[in-house]
Structure formats: C-alpha cells, structure tokens
Amino acid sequence: MSKVDELACLTLESTLPVSKPTISYHTKILHDAGLISTRKAGRNYYYSLCRDVLGDLLDQLWELAPTPRPVVGAQNGPLSTGRRQKRQDPGGVAAFSRQRAMGDDIEEAAVLTW
C-alpha cells in the first residue's frame, strides 16, 4: 500500500493469503484508527495510506525509544544490495535496513525492545 497512492481491495484479495472477511476486518481497524482512508466506487473499495498520520505516529513512537532514531545513509557505510544488515544499539533498538538492487529505495524497520 505504501508503494502506490491508492490500492484496490481486489489487489489485496489477490495478493494476501487470507480470506476476504479477514481483509475487511483489518482494513476496518486501520480505517477506524485513521491510518488509511477508504473510497467506494460502485462495488469496489479503494484504500490509501494517511501518510501524515503515519508520520506523526512514527515520530511519537520514536520519542518513546531510549536511544536516538537510527539513520540509514552514507554515514553508516554502504549497504549490501538485497541483503539485510542488523545494527544493535545499546538502548535495545535493532534496526534492519535493505537497499534494492534496482534503485535508491531503502526499506527500514526498527524493532523496539524494552
């Protein structure tokens, strides 16, 4: 969903290995939380991320982290293409990053542990 502006529910149904009611249940939770917006056109539903809300939420979560936010970039050294690198910060934040072979997109995830 983060790669496109809007995603059809049919795409989720054909991509995810879960039932239609499960998709409906989880998208309703995300919609009620304000993390995605839903548009209905005829019999079809379309979802899009509320990127500003997600950005604010991520900032609030990082404020809870015991150490500064890990930054991925040239200052941290080159990334192996297509492989994950794990950095363990002393405060319990394990950051995983991966750079794609065909572009500059960098995926980053952080696992917070207390």
Where along the chain do its domains lie? 7-54, 65-112
Least trusted range by pLDDT, from 12-16, 42-46, 47-51, 86-90: 86-90
Q: What is residue 49's predicted lDDT score, i.e. its pLDDT? A: 95
Nearest of 84, 56, 87, 82 to residue 71 by alpha carbon: 87
Q: Which CATH architecture has domain 7-54?
A: Orthogonal Bundle (1.10)
User: Per-residue confidence at 111, pLDDT binned at 50, 70, 90?
Assistant: low
Mode of pairing for the β-strands spanning 36-41 and 44-49: antiparallel
Longest pairwise C-alpha distance within the chain: 52
For 57-82, what is each residue's pLDDT tens digit?
A: 888 888 887 776 666 555 544 444 44
- The answer to whether 29 touches 35, Cβ cutoff 8 Å, is no
**What is the 8-class DSSP label of residue 84?**
-
Confidence band, pLDDT 50/70/90 cuts, at residue 24: very high
User: Within 10 Å of residue 104's Cβ, how many Cβ atoms?
Assistant: 6
Residue 41 has pLDDT above 90, yes or no: yes
